[in-house]
Amino acid sequence: MSRIRVECRHRYADGFDLHAAFESGDGVTALFGPSGSGKTTTLHILAGLLRPTAGRVLLGERVLLDTAAGLFVPPERRRIGLVFQDHLLFPHLSVRANLRYGLVRRPGRRIDLERAVEILELRQVLDRHPHTLSGGERQRAALGRAILRGPELLLLDEPLTALDEPLKERILSYLERVLAEWRIPTLFVSHDQADVRRLAEHVVVLEAGRVVDAGPTAATLDRAVILEMKSPPGPVNLLRVDGVQQVEGHWEGRVRGQRIQLPALAGAPDSAVFVQFLPSDVTLTCDTVAGLSVRNQLTGCVRDVILLPGRAFVAVDVGQLLWAEVTPEALRELGLRVDSLVTCLVKTSAMRILR
């Protein structure tokens, strides 16, 4: 059953016209698209912060909005938790009081305050006020207040955008903990492919106010960023690496049993890490190679070949799906087609670690 169903139109005075129609389920769904595509407007309609020109919104069996029937449920009665990228904590209240505000303002499921404090590691800042907190502490406090309302749906509006990379990685890990602990259906806005691939099970792709695609994250996002968007950025590779350890002075792990050498880490991670790199960082060969400075050679089977003017994208299953970008000439010379066996060469220096 769909957790949320949306069919809305909204037109701004400057001429921007949003037409959002999609459904999402009980897991994590991303609203993905470039700046100005209508992602935040859609989120504000769902939260009740914006009345659209026309449309209907259902949360489960509850109708939150039906312009034709003159029905509009105000934000405080929607049982929706909302986290903005600029946090919006009450500045005159301590972290503890901000969290308790979430408790007294919700009619839905009960979330234990002590458990939320533990999961988000907020105990050391409970008696401090927002202006004394770091960006990451404010984000965690805002997330805690939102989940303590016991929402039926959690909305995250670009929660990682204003953060530098190390802080972003820490907040991502907290988000993953929250989603695993309470299984709250979540809709989050992002223009970052890596964040979407890491967190979301489904994605809705928006461009210029229209939904251009929707479905399971990997296949839908790959299709959209290669073929369907007006200015397709191309895919980003994100591989999960397990069993990370230091071996003879370097770090390495496994991608579904295949060894992969990693950039330097500050210390041993207590769980899997993710590595991000571009399709243009991948070299393909059909032969076994030796004597190369490239440390990583992942063997797999071609699952898709997409030929575009001047370039081609090749999807390779190495235990996880990996994209390579090659020239049409290289594609022909290698004779690549679906089910071809290939080796993917990736320089360690091209990888970025996401923990």
Q: What are phi and psi of 103, to 5 degrees?
A: -65, -40
In the CATH hierarchy, which top-level class contains the domain 4-228? Answer: alpha beta
Beta-bridged to residue 306, according to DSSP, are 313
CATH 3.40.50.300 residue window(s) in the chain: 4-228
Q: Indicate if the pLDDT at residue 268 is higher than 90.
A: no
Is 22 strand, coil or helix? strand
pLDDT at 139: 86
Give 40's pLDDT tier (boundaries 50, 70, 90).
very high
Question: Is the four-CA dihedral 196, 197, 202, 205 of positive or negative sign?
Answer: positive
Question: Rounded distance, CA 164 to CA 143, Å?
Answer: 18
CATH 2.40.50.100 residue window(s) in the chain: 237-354
Question: Rounded distance, CA 98 to CA 165, Å?
Answer: 27
**Helical segments of 241-335, H only:** 328-334
Q: Indicate if the pLDDT at residue 108 is higher than 70.
A: no
Q: Indicate if the pLDDT at residue 105 is higher than 60.
A: no
pLDDT in tens, 129-141: 999 998 888 888 9
pLDDT in tens, 41-88: 999 999 999 999 999 999 999 999 999 999 999 998 999 999 887 667
Average pLDDT of the chain is: 91
Question: Rounded distance, CA 286 to CA 335, Å?
Answer: 9
Spatial contact of 90 and 104, defined as CB atoms under 8 Å apart: no
What's the rounded mean pLDDT across residues 193-201?
Answer: 92
pLDDT at 221: 94
Q: Residue 212: which H helix or E strand, with range?
A: strand 210-216
Closest among 25, 28, 36, 35 to 1, alpha carbons compared: 25
- Under CATH, which architecture does the 237-354 domain have? Beta Barrel (2.40)
Spatial contact of 48 and 72, defined as CB atoms under 8 Å apart: yes
Question: Rounded distance, CA 24 to CA 22, Å?
Answer: 7
Gyration radius of the chain's alpha carbons: 22
Question: pTM score, two decimals?
Answer: 0.87
Question: Rounded distance, CA 193 to CA 190, Å?
Answer: 8
Q: Indicate if the pLDDT at residue 181 is higher than 70.
A: yes
Lowest mean pLDDT among 42-51, 175-184, 196-205, 257-266: 175-184
Question: Rounded distance, CA 298 to CA 342, Å?
Answer: 8
Q: Indicate if the pLDDT at residue 32 is higher than 70.
A: yes
First vs last C-alpha separation in the chain: 33
